[in-house]
Chain A
């Protein structure tokens, strides 16, 4: 944690206090955090920070910061990671991954190199594969069921710090 605090501090030395015993209320804005080297190249960086942020605007207090890296670490259990992954990929935060969420994910992943037809095809396929209850979008149960069988989920959904 001291290491994390060091990183947190060096992002904004004049704002973040060294001493946390008095529980200061300090938040770092999203812009600073997504410039961290670990997150810089990640296409989902805004969503990651957003889903751990308490005030919904993307600012992270130190607690949230620790939370984020703890979930993304190697030691976090699969279910916990699945919960947060669901939150991250749910762009419109309606607790469902609907088609538009999928489209946005895909665009971020491929940097919009796919044609519109290909995008719709892929999104439809995903819904077809994973949607169990037939509502046309992925609820958490669908997502979790699908991701728990994925062999690489644990190794890719992991940030080392």
Chain B
């Protein structure tokens, strides 16, 4: 009848103006309606989650993108409001009525905002919504009466407009998200874990796009538009010696020639303090953009991590509900393809069978020592591999330096470094996997080890590469001094010559192509990174093409005339390697971060790469991959990959920060040329561009005496927050324990009247040992296995239900039962215990790990 009440109220509300008492009647009815709805709230646990905060502010709640319906409602509402505003003009309400009204309006608003979360039928929701909205509309005008009515009405109107604007903006944003259909297709064929890679790719694309916008808009465009054009300065011109070959494709491919002297690289930029009529401070902008690239990436990664952490509630390693979760959450509702569905059915069946087998069998007899030995051996082998690969890279980079001095280096010599690194990246991971077969871990743990090792491999490679590069840089710095001298004397010589020839005061400037050039180390570094990135891109694409596509074609077509079944046997179709691909993406991003300071065009290249990669990989996945045979949950891995990204961000920040702080910039190229250190540009800007007192403030702030206490303060804050979070976690655990105990108490109350808390049990036994002796065995008989974390398997028929019930309580109780019963119950208790090595501990430790649960229990 609540429903009918509300419907009536709604119907009448749609009518014309009201008198005061009628309003009261309605109010009462509303109240009754609200009481009903509030109770329903309690019953259904009406939530207001954080993710809905933008929608909570909405007054008109419709579902996501429900524009059509909304327009109709708005039309209706407008008609109501026009009539109600007439009516409210005539009314005047007293103070208390005003307050009561306000309360009701607030309640209605709250109801409207949580409407989405109610599990009611759509029709009912719509009618309740309309009626609540009408009520709010009507009385809001009335509330504004008396005091500042106009202002109140204005505020309300602005609030509504703002809400509407926000919602339209959200709709627009949702429509703008690219590739939604593509990802859906992949999802329906391959499940959510493969699609998570593509979602990650899309996110990376977004981040890179923003970075590109920053760099392009603030650094490259001003230099191109307002800076000196090509050929006007030595740093912007191809030297005379190279001009002959500057246009050759092979030279361009190596990023020498015209590309080297373009805005893509550091060396092109002029160190003029301000350029153009806008007085745009380019060096300052370059520096700040470089820093903000890292700042923005950091912010975005951490925000994403925080969001992920919020969503993944509580303990994922909770083993209490293995079977229930398998039953209710294993089917992936996104699957829309028959073949995938078949696969999924098969994998679900397999996983059920596995769990059943694990349940039923007892612990295997394991040879611990052999296993440990094998694991140590595997780790040793892998460390050897890692060291070997590190040394190889170092060696190769050293060699490439000697090659670069050679005149006729072949194509292989020039690209040796990149080739070696890519090959290592391609062959080492499978090698690690085969070695890891020795270790015999559970698949999910094995995957983590594998990822960790690949990570170490890539990291080692990258840092070795960097070290070798640093050697190169140092060499160049030494060379620079020599060249500086040469340049100086050449210019002087030229000047003297020209002055000597004719008596004009100003000597004709030396053609920029002829000026002897310093070895611009920053550009070299930039070039190295760009080449590395490009070769990485090529290798990835070729691997996909050959490893997946050609393989698929081969298997498909040659299968007809081959001895064994190619599809089921050896090559078969490839599965999509999620972790490998994600790691590749993460490392690529790390290289971009490292190189973008020295090669502003690198981010642009990456954006192009991600764009093509999206389409290319989608196509490759759909055409040549098969869904995974074994299903892997990607849910918690998301934060793992974000964590990796964060780590890489820091690691790529380090070299850049080091070079900025400690190496002097080249004297003749780049926006910082002529300065002693790159960060001097900040000093300069502060001194020259800001008023005097700002410089003073900065000098005070930069005082170590101020900075060190600030750092100390931050460390203390971290420590404090850490301990607060630990306290919360402990409180959480306590509450959980309490809930568990309560539930068990309730359960046992139904089963038998006595509590099974062991301590209480002991107490009871102590107090009345004689009377308890007879009742105890009986209780032992009645109790069933209860608490949720019990994993006692199917009752063995031999024992019957008698003493299986509460072996531990009888065991415990047995300790206190007078000796006459000890001999009876204890052996039985022990007998009960023996074949169940997996018997859970007494209830005092509900949250503890349960020992000896079937080994290799698949955890999802």
A in complex with B: yes
Q: Which of A87-131 contact B (CB under 8 A)?
A: 89, 102, 105-106, 109-111, 113-114, 118, 121-122, 124-126, 128-130
Tell me whether A77 and B359 are in contact (CB under 8 A). Answer: no
Known: A67-B121, A110-B348. A40 touches B336 (CB 8 A): yes
Tell me whether B72 and A21 are in contact (CB under 8 A). Answer: yes
Tell me whether A149 and B192 are in contact (CB under 8 A). Answer: no
Tell me whether A83 and B332 are in contact (CB under 8 A). Answer: no
Tell me whether B329 and A157 are in contact (CB under 8 A). Answer: yes
Within 8 Å by CB of B63, from A66, A129, A144, A152, lies: A66
Bound CA–CA A63/B66 (angstroms): 11
Tell me whether A70 and B119 are in contact (CB under 8 A). Answer: no
Asked if B474 is at the interface (CB within 8 A of a chain A CB), the reply is no
Across the interface, name the chain B residue whose C-beta is closest to A110: B349
**Per-position contact with A for B627-668: 1 when CB-CB < 8 Å, else 0?**
000000111100000000000000000000000000000000
Which residues on B sit within 8 Å (CB–CB) of A153?
A: 325, 328-329
Known: A151-B312, A155-B192. A126 touches B349 (CB 8 A): no
Asked if A134 is at the interface (CB within 8 A of a chain B CB), the reply is yes
Across the interface, name the chain A residue whose C-beta is closest to B337: A41
Within 8 Å by CB of B44, from A83, A147, A148, A156, lies: A83
**Separation in Å of the A141 CB from the closest CB of chain B?**
10
Tell me whether A54 and B349 are in contact (CB under 8 A). Answer: no
Tell me whether B320 and A2 are in contact (CB under 8 A). Answer: no
Which residues on B sit within 8 Å (CB–CB) of A40?
A: 336, 338
Bound CA–CA A42/B337 (angstroms): 10
Asked if A10 is at the interface (CB within 8 A of a chain B CB), the reply is no
Asked if B747 is at the interface (CB within 8 A of a chain A CB), the reply is yes
Bound CA–CA A159/B188 (angstroms): 9
**Per-position contact with A for B158-195: 1 when CB-CB < 8 Å, else 0?**
00000000000000000000001000100110001000
Which residues on A sit within 8 Å (CB–CB) of B337?
A: 41
Tell me whether B184 and A114 are in contact (CB under 8 A). Answer: no
Bound CA–CA A44/B192 (angstroms): 18
Known: A54-B121, A153-B329, A156-B333. A125 touches B359 (CB 8 A): yes
Interface-central residue, B45, B49, B324, B334, by most chain A CB under 10 Å: B324
Tell me whether A150 and B325 are in contact (CB under 8 A). Answer: yes
Within 8 Å by CB of B327, from A1, A20, A42, A102, lies: A102
Bound CA–CA A130/B787 (angstroms): 9
Known: A63-B123, A147-B328. A37 touches B746 (CB 8 A): no
Within 8 Å by CB of A77, from B52, B62, B123, B747, lies: B52
Tell me whether A80 and B751 are in contact (CB under 8 A). Answer: no
Known: A44-B331, A122-B356. A5 touches B68 (CB 8 A): yes
Asked if B229 is at the interface (CB within 8 A of a chain A CB), the reply is no
Which residues on A sit within 8 Å (CB–CB) of B353?
A: 114, 118
Bound CA–CA A20/B790 (angstroms): 54
Which residues on B sit within 8 Å (CB–CB) of A149?
A: 313-315, 318, 320-321
Bound CA–CA A42/B333 (angstroms): 7
Which residues on A sit within 8 Å (CB–CB) of B216?
A: none
Asked if A11 is at the interface (CB within 8 A of a chain B CB), the reply is no
Say which size band chain B's interface belongs to: 35 or more
Which residues on A sit within 8 Å (CB–CB) of B51?
A: 75, 77
Across the interface, name the chain A residue whose C-beta is closest to B360: A121
Bound CA–CA A121/B792 (angstroms): 12
Known: A110-B345, A129-B788. A54 touches B65 (CB 8 A): no
Tell me whether A64 and B633 are in contact (CB under 8 A). Answer: no
Which residues on A sit within 8 Å (CB–CB) of B322?
A: 129
Across the interface, name the chain B residue whose C-beta is closest to A64: B122
Which residues on A sit within 8 Å (CB–CB) of B743?
A: 132-133
Which residues on B sit within 8 Å (CB–CB) of A13?
A: none
Known: A42-B335, A64-B122, A66-B122. A152 touches B747 (CB 8 A): no
**Per-position contact with A for B344-360: 1 when CB-CB < 8 Å, else 0?**
01001100110010010
Within 8 Å by CB of B325, from A78, A84, A152, A158, lies: A152
Bound CA–CA A154/B336 (angstroms): 18
**Separation in Å of the A106 CB from the closest CB of chain B?**
6
Known: A54-B123, A129-B321, A132-B747. A150 touches B328 (CB 8 A): yes
Tell me whether B327 and A105 are in contact (CB under 8 A). Answer: yes
Asked if B341 is at the interface (CB within 8 A of a chain A CB), the reply is yes
Asked if B330 is at the interface (CB within 8 A of a chain A CB), the reply is yes
Known: A77-B117, A128-B785. A41 touches B336 (CB 8 A): yes
Tell me whether B122 and A150 are in contact (CB under 8 A). Answer: no
Which residues on B sit within 8 Å (CB–CB) of A1?
A: 62-63, 65-69
**Separation in Å of the B854 CB from the closest CB of chain A?**
12
Within 8 Å by CB of A67, from B122, B184, B313, B315, lies: B122
Tell me whether B324 and A126 are in contact (CB under 8 A). Answer: yes
Which residues on A sit within 8 Å (CB–CB) of B751?
A: 134
Bound CA–CA A123/B676 (angstroms): 75
Asked if B95 is at the interface (CB within 8 A of a chain A CB), the reply is no
Which residues on B sit within 8 Å (CB–CB) of A156?
A: 192, 329-334
Within 8 Å by CB of B66, from A66, A118, A151, A160, lies: A66
Within 8 Å by CB of B321, from A102, A105, A130, lies: A130
Tell me whether A2 and B323 are in contact (CB under 8 A). Answer: no
Asked if B794 is at the interface (CB within 8 A of a chain A CB), the reply is yes
**Separation in Å of the B838 CB from the closest CB of chain A?**
14
Asked if B340 is at the interface (CB within 8 A of a chain A CB), the reply is yes
Bound CA–CA A134/B324 (angstroms): 16
Asked if B96 is at the interface (CB within 8 A of a chain A CB), the reply is no
Asked if B500 is at the interface (CB within 8 A of a chain A CB), the reply is no
Known: A63-B122, A149-B321. A158 touches B329 (CB 8 A): no
Bound CA–CA A85/B330 (angstroms): 13
Within 8 Å by CB of A3, from B65, B72, B747, lies: B65
Which residues on B sit within 8 Å (CB–CB) of A80?
A: 47, 116-119
Asked if B366 is at the interface (CB within 8 A of a chain A CB), the reply is no
**Separation in Å of the B168 CB from the closest CB of chain A?**
14
Bound CA–CA A61/B389 (angstroms): 64
Within 8 Å by CB of A152, from B44, B117, B329, B348, lies: B329
Which residues on B sit within 8 Å (CB–CB) of A57?
A: none
Q: Which of A5-21 contact B (CB under 8 A)?
A: 5, 20-21
**Which residue numbers of B lie inside 8 Å of A, CB to CB?**
44-45, 47, 49, 51-52, 62-69, 72, 116-119, 121-123, 126, 180, 184, 187-188, 192, 311-316, 318, 320-325, 327-338, 340-341, 345, 348-349, 352-353, 356, 359, 633-636, 743, 746-747, 750-751, 785-786, 788, 790, 794, 860
Can you name 18 A-B residue pairings with CB atoms under 8 Å?
A1-B67, A20-B68, A41-B336, A41-B337, A41-B341, A43-B331, A54-B121, A61-B122, A76-B116, A77-B51, A78-B47, A105-B327, A109-B330, A132-B788, A134-B751, A149-B320, A157-B329, A159-B333
10 closest residue pairs by CB, A with B: A63-B122, A41-B341, A1-B66, A151-B316, A125-B323, A110-B349, A134-B747, A83-B119, A67-B122, A113-B349
